[in-house]
Structures are given as C-alpha cells and as structure tokens.
Amino acid sequence: MYPEFLPDPNPLYRNALREKLERIDMLARRTRIAIPEFYVGSILAVTYSEPHAPGKVNKFVGICIERNGSGLRSSFLLRNIVDNQGIEVCYELYDPAIQKIDCLRLEKRLDSHLRYLRDAPAKYSTFPFDLEPEFLPEGASVPVNDIKVPLNGLPWLEKWERQELKGIIIKGVTFSKKRNAKTKISAKPWEKYDLMKIYRETIPEEEQNEIFNEVYTKLHEIEITKRRLKHKRTFIRPQKTG
C-alpha cells in the first residue's frame, strides 16, 4: 500500500540514516496532505499550485502509467489525451506544490507499467477532466482491470513484444525476420526462477516489516484524523465580489 516507504534495493544507494530521515519527512508531509492509495492503472486528479497560471492553481487528470523512485523522490506519471494530443505529466509524490491528490478510480492493471498506452489507440488513454470519483465499498479489495489493449502498427516507441506484457494484444503487426530472431535471442524465460535476481531487486520481508512497523502507528493516526476531518464541514473562503 505504501511502496514508496521502501528504499531502493541497490546497495550502492543504501544509507540507513538517510532513509530514516526521509521517512520522518514523508510522514511530516503526510500529516499535511492526504496521499491516497493508488496503483499503476488508477485514475488520479492532481491539484497543484502553478506559478505560471493566471489563477496560480492547476488541475490535471490522467491514468497513472508508471511509478518511479523511492522515498522523497518517488514520482508518478499521469497520461491523458486532450484535444487529440497525448499529454503526460510527471509529479513528485512529496512535492510541496501539490495541494490535493484525488484517486478518481482505484484499480490495478495486469502490468507493472502502462507505457504501451503511448502506442495504443487514443480511446484507451482518454479521460474527461470532470470525471466523478468512484467509491469502493469499505473493506473491498482493489479490483484488477484485465483489459487487453490492442496496439497500433509499427513503428513503436519501445519493443513491446520483448517485455512479456500481459495487457496488450499484438495483432496485424508483422515483424521482420531479423526482429523475430532478435526477440528469440533476447528472451530470458529462466529469469523468473532466478532467486538471486529477485533477492537483489527487492527488499527482504524482514526488513520491510521493520520499516512498516516504524511508520505504521503514525500512518494509522493520520488515517484516523483524515476520516474524522471528512465528516467535519470544511471552511469555504467566501468569494470576493464587486
């Protein structure tokens, strides 16, 4: 639920003290702003202060296609199509300029990233800016959207056929003989059995428990105050007229 609390597994970037300080800062930020639970494939609305806009506030709605980074540097990438123009905006999760993050539709997809939507028809990444938030019943698990996205013809931005993606349909695309041969060479079907590789790329469970135990009580408190505030009436600043 909180993947950004886990540090980067690469031992070159590990530093216990820095990680601890970052966690304190993240919790401090979370007391100020409600960061909802979301996954790759969820639809988010981000309201942030934009010094370049006339009203100094801007809002962007889009599907989360990628989550990157860990700790204070964690970020997510939103994609939408506005006026037939694909637009992607990267936001940092703990950016102090962000005023509000709303999860309009909470769901998961079959893949760990949805960058292939760049090469898919426009309807798969078009979301209206006035989308109503959908609420799941309390205690329900996060639904998995098992939609399969057909891709456009070549050329593509990445070699999707090599990435073992579950959420795409490659149909009506003919690869050259050379490309097929290279796909066969670069395939690594044994990698999912490589325990050492999995160990190197993830934080061990004992360490995860240690980190989550540290932050859990604080996060729980934040959750309770958030729920209490939801029932309270919010103060709406009266508009200046005349």
Q: Which residues are at the interface with other proteins (CB under 8 A)?
A: 48, 50-53, 58, 60, 75, 82-83, 85-92, 95, 97, 118
- As measured in angstroms, the least distance from the Cβ of 48 to other proteins is 7
The string of DSSP letters for 119-183 reads: GS-GGGG---TTPPPP-PPTTPPPPB----EEP-PSP-SS-GGGTT-SSEE--S----HHHHHHH
Q: Which two tokens stand for residue 156?
A: 């593509």
What is residue 217's three-state secondary structure?
Answer: helix
Taking the mean position of all CA atoms in its chain, how far away is CA 156?
Answer: 23
Whether the CB-CB separation of 43 and 62 falls below 8 Å is answered with yes
Q: How far is the CB of 16 from other proteins (least distance, A)?
A: 27
- Give me the least distance between CB of 221 and other proteins, in Å please: 29
> Minimum Å distance from CB 98 to other proteins?
9
Q: 92-106 burial, b for 16+ CB within 10 Å, e for fewer?
A: ebbeeebeebbbbbb
The distance of closest approach from Cβ of residue 146 to other proteins in the complex, given in angstroms and rounded to an integer, is 26
